[in-house]
Amino acid sequence: MNISGVSRKKAFLGNITTAVRNKAWELCRDYETILDVCCGNGLFFLNEGINKKLLVGIDKSEELLREAKRIFTDNCIEDASLIRGNAFQLPFKSETFDRVVCINTLLNLSSIDIIETLLLELMRVCKPTGRLLIEIRNQSNPYIRLKYWMHSRKQKFPVRAYKIEDISNIIERHKFHCTRILPIGCPVEFIAKAFLIEAGRIKQS
């Protein structure tokens, strides 16, 4: 896997994103249509068996998408499409994807209301039998709270952690339910660094 020259925000994220990405791929590997929202430089797609899937990445950054295209070329990834677009207005028909992935993104959103708007759009493009895979940083972890507070004081881009119950409440208000909540970094929820939330539609009786 060749990712030389990949640009990154100055490293305060450590290995959280990599761990989340790997766990999310485990939950996607058996499905055919996968959307990565806010895909950045496309590292989610650097996984075994990726060319057997219909993959789409969308991001607003031209620079990151150019980087993703270079990474795809270097790693012979042929079946992934990259689109420049707005995560809050996805250019896809409703109920299109088996899996809708959004990682390393909610930490950049400034309020629960904005997160809810984003999640509604992700829900729209998810198939009735599909799943959302959403990652948040764990506000209950005192180390994460302190680290992000210090980072936000020093850098131009603030980052935020959220409570798992706040995100799950949004999901469950909109006819979805959390099928799995996976702690990342530590199996003890209180000190997990992040959570990967899998959510699906509630079946209508």
pLDDT in tens, the chain (205 residues): 444 444 444 333 457 888 999 999 999 988 889 999 999 999 888 876 665 568 899 999 999 999 999 998 888 887 789 999 999 999 999 999 999 999 999 999 989 999 999 999 999 999 999 999 999 999 998 888 888 878 777 776 778 899 999 999 999 999 999 999 999 988 888 899 999 999 999 987 6
Q: What is the pLDDT of residue 90?
A: 98
How many Å apart are CA 136 and CA 154, to the nearest integer?
Answer: 22
pLDDT of residue 80: 84
Q: For residue 115, how far is the Cα from the chain centroid?
A: 12
Query: What count of Cα atoms within 13 Å lies in the side-chain half-sphere of residue 83?
Result: 15
Which helix or strand (DSSP H or E) is residue 82 part of?
strand 80-84
Residue 34's φ and ψ, nearest 5 degrees, are: -130, 130
Domains recognised in the chain with CATH numbers: 16-200 (3.40.50.150)
According to the model, what pLDDT value does residue 51 have? 53
Residue 177's pLDDT is: 96
Per the CB < 8 A criterion, the answer to whether 103 and 172 are in contact is no
Q: What global pTM score does this model have?
A: 0.88
Q: Does residue 126 contact residue 189 with C-beta atoms inside 8 Å? A: no
**Burial of residue 140, with CB atoms counted within 10 A of its CB: 0-12 exposed, 13-18 middle, 19 or more buried:** middle
How many CA atoms lie less than 13 Å away from 96 in the CB half-sphere? Answer: 16
Question: Helices then strands (H, E): number in the chain?
Answer: 5, 7
Report helix, strand or coil for 185: coil
Per-residue confidence (pLDDT) for residue 205, from 0 to 100: 60
DSSP letters along 96-107, please? -EEEEEE-S-GG
